[in-house]
């Protein structure tokens, strides 16, 4: 029992230290007022996004960046996505929509859609975004500035998450929670080892010349979590890359409701552990089982110390991610239950190869 408690507190303190480093270092994209003339190709893969796509397209139209093109690839949607995009493009000359080709053997849908978009793009930078986002003013200028300032081949941003239901609040905050208390985000740029990697497919900005040379999406054509794999490939090829928080310049509603969020998270969760189920299980046991052991001791001082560390960790992560700290502290036990459900489904679906997303088996 003593050993289990000691291991639990070492794990909690270590995660607290990582969170504190992230909170102090504040790894966010900074707003800049400088304007850039480079052509930015904004590339959007869509599949059954009729409910989301217009909000994104309108937010692009409101950008203060002047020189851009928007290419939307419809990946065999069965709803009105293509027609909505075509009608919008007909009214705005910088926008165009194309039909995706049949999915070849060995490719995953989104990866092939992004690959096709890159072949059609003409820009100096390729910006891949998802259909369920809204872009804020100043985003593109600030991102391009960061690319030049740090001589980056890839900049990836973690968007601020919009959560409209209690079910979403029980799952979606887990993304930033796990990210910011497991990895000092600044190290993605500072450490050249490709294993130190994090990225979000919600915003991937590439130097187009380097992209054309390496064809990043082709290199990861069969990877479920292509964003992190691309980050690893970029770093493995000795190119500079960085991952940051979006600092309010991108918002995204990833999922609509509890079940949708659980299914979405279980699709990619193992990727953070390189699909090593043993390490994943150790993490789950420590993060959930450890605190339960401490509570079972009925030692008020130990419980209070543990609760204080967890609460401070949740508060710092919430503030960094632009989320409500009180919600995440109060909902922490329920979010840990959701994490358990996600972990079970992630392992079960990985072992049985039954992951399905957007109507396709992955």
Count of beta carbons in the 10 Å neighbourhood of residue 62: 11
Give the SS3 label for residue 269: helix
Number of domains in the chain: 2
What CATH number did the domain enclosing 201 receive? 3.90.550.10
Q: How far apart are CA 130 and CA 217, in angstroms?
A: 15
- Taking alpha carbons only, the member of 41, 47, 43 closest to residue 67 is 41
What's the pLDDT at 352?
Answer: 80
Residues 60 and 194 in one domain: yes
Asked if 231 and 334 sit in the same domain, the reply is no
Q: Are 261 and 341 in contact (CB under 8 A)?
A: no
Distance CA 211, CA 234 (A): 9
Do 73 and 168 sit in the same domain of this protein?
yes
- 191 and 290 assigned to the same domain: no
Tokens at residue 272, please?
């953070």
Asked whether the whole model's pTM tops 0.95, one would answer: no
294/232 same-domain check: no
Instruction: Give me the tens of pLDDT residue by residue for the chain, a chain 362 residues long.
Output: 788 888 888 999 999 999 999 999 999 999 998 899 999 999 999 999 998 899 999 999 999 898 999 999 999 889 999 999 999 999 999 999 999 999 999 999 999 999 999 999 999 999 999 999 999 999 999 999 999 999 999 999 999 999 999 999 999 999 999 999 999 999 999 999 998 999 999 999 999 999 999 999 999 999 888 999 999 999 999 999 999 999 999 999 988 899 999 988 888 787 777 778 888 888 888 899 888 988 888 889 999 999 999 999 999 999 999 999 999 999 999 999 999 999 999 888 878 876 665 555 55
> Same domain for 188 and 308?
no
**Rounded alpha-carbon distances, angstroms, from residue 35 to 79, 151, 214, 304:** 38, 17, 28, 51
- What tokens were used for 229? 């794999």
| Helix and strand numbers, DSSP H then E, in the chain | 17, 12
Residue pointed to by tokens 């997303």: 357
Domain boundary among 211, 226, 258: 258
Task: Using the 3D structure, point to which of 258, 283, 317 is the last residue of a domain.
Answer: 258
Q: Which domain holds residue 127?
A: 40-258
Contact 142, 184 (CB under 8 A): no
Which of 200, 223, 258 lies at the terminal end of a domain, its last residue?
258
């Amino acid at each position: 029992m003593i050993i289990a408690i000691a291991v639990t507190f070492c794990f909690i303190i270590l995660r607290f230290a990582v969170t504190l480093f992230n909170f102090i270092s504040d790894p966010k994209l900074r707003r800049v007022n400088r304007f850039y003339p480079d052509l930015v190709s904004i590339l959007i893969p869509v599949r059954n996004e009729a409910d989301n796509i217009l909000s994104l397209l309108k937010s692009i139209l409101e950008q203060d960046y002047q020189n851009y093109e928007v290419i939307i690839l419809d990946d065999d949607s069965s709803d009105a996505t293509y027609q909505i995009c075509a009608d919008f493009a007909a009214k705005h000359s910088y926008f165009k929509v194309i039909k995706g080709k049949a999915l070849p053997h060995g490719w995953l849908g989104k990866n092939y859609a992004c690959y096709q978009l890159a072949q059609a793009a003409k820009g100096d930078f390729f910006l891949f975004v998802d259909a369920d986002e809204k872009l804020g003013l100043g985003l593109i200028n600030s991102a391009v500035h960061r690319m030049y300032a740090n001589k980056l081949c890839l900049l990836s941003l973690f968007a601020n998450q919009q959560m409209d239901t209690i079910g979403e609040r029980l799952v979606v905050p887990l993304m930033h929670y796990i990210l910011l208390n497991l990895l000092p985000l600044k190290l993605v740029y500072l450490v050249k080892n490709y294993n130190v990697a994090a990225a979000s497919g919600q915003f991937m900005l590439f130097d187009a010349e380097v992209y054309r040379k390496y064809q990043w999406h082709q290199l990861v054509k069969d990877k479920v979590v292509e964003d992190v794999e691309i980050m690893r490939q970029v770093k493995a090829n000795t190119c500079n890359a960085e991952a940051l928080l979006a600092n309010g310049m991108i918002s995204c509603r990833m999922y609509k409701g509890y079940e949708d969020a659980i299914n979405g998270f279980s699709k990619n969760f193992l990727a953070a552990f390189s699909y090593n189920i043993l390490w994943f299980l150790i993490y789950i046991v420590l993060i959930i089982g450890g605190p339960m052991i401490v509570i079972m001791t009925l030692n008020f001082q130990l419980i209070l110390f543990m609760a204080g560390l967890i609460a401070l960790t949740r508060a710092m992560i919430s503030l960094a991610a632009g989320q409500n700290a009180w919600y995440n502290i109060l909902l922490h036990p329920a979010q840990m239950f959701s994490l358990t459900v996600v972990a079970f489904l992630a392992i079960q679906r990985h072992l049985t190869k039954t992951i399905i997303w957007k109507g396709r088996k992955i």
